[in-house]
């Protein structure tokens, strides 16, 4: 008889919280453990587990496996986008997780990027039907750097804009939401023409005014670095 999967989720951060919600919505069998709990409890819940999900910091994963999972014979899985290790299989959810839980449809829409030499998605995450693709592990560090550039760093820019609208210009941040939504739609529908503004137009006067307006602002360096990057891209194209 085929063994019924039982997950053990290690960690209690944001990703772990979302995965617990996803599994609960699907009525999947799982247990949890995090470092504020006893190691005797860890040993107890391990006896039931067929799959261990290591949803802890990258730097802690290999050490945790060596110290606590060396005798575990089930599947060891981590969700890091950058970590390359032979001690666990990598499945990276290409998604950002907020402090608000999602509905089932959104969880099921999350794509996973799997290590090229890992077993099938169905073997690693039985009970889930998410779309998935494989990536050679030699490319993971660059892949994750691109995730950070596109998602995390763009978030800093929008947070800066929201803050400036409310605290410098005394305008509601919500005024920018339509701009953000349309920019996102343009990127998704026609990414090759979504980039607009003074850099595309070659409007040096406006660019210089922008840079001057950011004097004594940490984001002036960000503007200049994007300008340098854009000019290099044009030369190399």
Interval 7-58: pLDDT, tens:
999 999 999 999 999 999 999 999 999 999 999 999 999 999 999 999 999 9
Residues 196-223, mean pLDDT to the nearest whole number: 97
For residue 160, is it within any domain? yes
Interval 52-102: pLDDT, tens:
999 999 999 999 999 999 999 999 999 999 999 999 999 999 999 999 999
103 DSSP 8-state letter: P
Q: Are 215 and 99 within one domain?
A: no
Q: What is the reported pLDDT for 3?
A: 73
Mean pLDDT taken over the chain: 97
Q: Are 93 and 145 within one domain?
A: no
Instruction: List strand residue ranges (DSSP E) for the chain, in order.
Output: 7-10, 30-33, 51-54, 75-78, 89-93, 112-115, 132-135
Q: What is the reported pLDDT for 102?
A: 98
Q: What is the reported pLDDT for 237?
A: 85
Q: Are 123 and 12 within one domain?
A: yes
- Residue 190 CA to residue 161 CA, distance in Å, equals 24
Interval 123-166: pLDDT, tens:
999 999 999 999 999 999 999 999 999 999 999 999 999 999 99
Neighbouring CB atoms inside 10 A of 125's CB total 24
Q: What is the reported pLDDT for 2?
A: 59
CATH number at residue 85: 3.40.50.720
Sign of CA dihedral 82, 85, 54, 120: positive
Q: Are 162 and 60 within one domain?
A: no
Residue 232 has pLDDT above 70, yes or no: yes
Q: Are 76 and 121 within one domain?
A: yes
- Residue 3 CA to residue 24 CA, distance in Å, equals 20
pTM (predicted TM-score): 0.93
Q: Are 94 and 194 within one domain?
A: no
Query: How many structural domains does the chain have?
Result: 2
For residue 1, is it within any domain? no
Tokens of 235: 């030369």
Q: Are 82 and 13 within one domain?
A: yes
Q: Are 93 and 76 within one domain?
A: yes
CATH number at residue 178: 1.10.1040.20
12 DSSP 8-state letter: -
Q: What is the reported pLDDT for 1?
A: 43
- Residue 85 CA to residue 189 CA, distance in Å, equals 36
Q: Are 160 and 117 within one domain?
A: no
For residue 2, is it within any domain? no
Q: Are 17 and 66 within one domain?
A: yes
Range of the domain at 159: 141-236
Q: Are 114 and 163 within one domain?
A: no
């Amino acid at each position: 008889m085929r063994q019924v999967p039982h997950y053990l989720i290690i960690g209690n951060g944001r990703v772990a919280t979302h995965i617990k919600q996803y599994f609960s919505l699907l009525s999947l069998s799982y247990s949890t453990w995090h470092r504020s709990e006893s190691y005797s409890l860890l040993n107890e819940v391990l006896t039931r587990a067929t799959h261990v999900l290591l949803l802890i910091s990258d730097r802690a994963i290999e050490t945790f496996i060596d110290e606590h999972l060396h005798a575990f014979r089930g599947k060891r899985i981590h969700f890091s986008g950058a970590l390359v290790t032979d001690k666990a299989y990598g499945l990276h959810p290409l998604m950002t997780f907020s402090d608000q839980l999602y509905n089932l449809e959104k969880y099921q829409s999350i794509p996973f990027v799997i290590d090229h030499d890992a077993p099938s998605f169905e073997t690693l995450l039985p009970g889930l039907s998410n779309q998935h693709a494989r990536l050679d592990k030699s490319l993971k560090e660059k892949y994750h750097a691109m995730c950070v550039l596109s998602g995390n760093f763009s978030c800093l820019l929008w947070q800066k804009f929201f803050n400036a609208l409310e605290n410098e210009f005394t305008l509601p941040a919500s005024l920018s939401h339509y701009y953000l939504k349309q920019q996102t739609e343009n990127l998704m529908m026609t990414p090759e023409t979504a980039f607009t503004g003074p850099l595309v137009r070659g409007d040096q006067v406006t660019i210089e005014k922008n840079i001057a307006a950011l004097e004594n602002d940490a984001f002036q360096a960000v503007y200049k670095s994007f300008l340098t990057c854009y000019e290099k891209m044009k030369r190399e194209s």
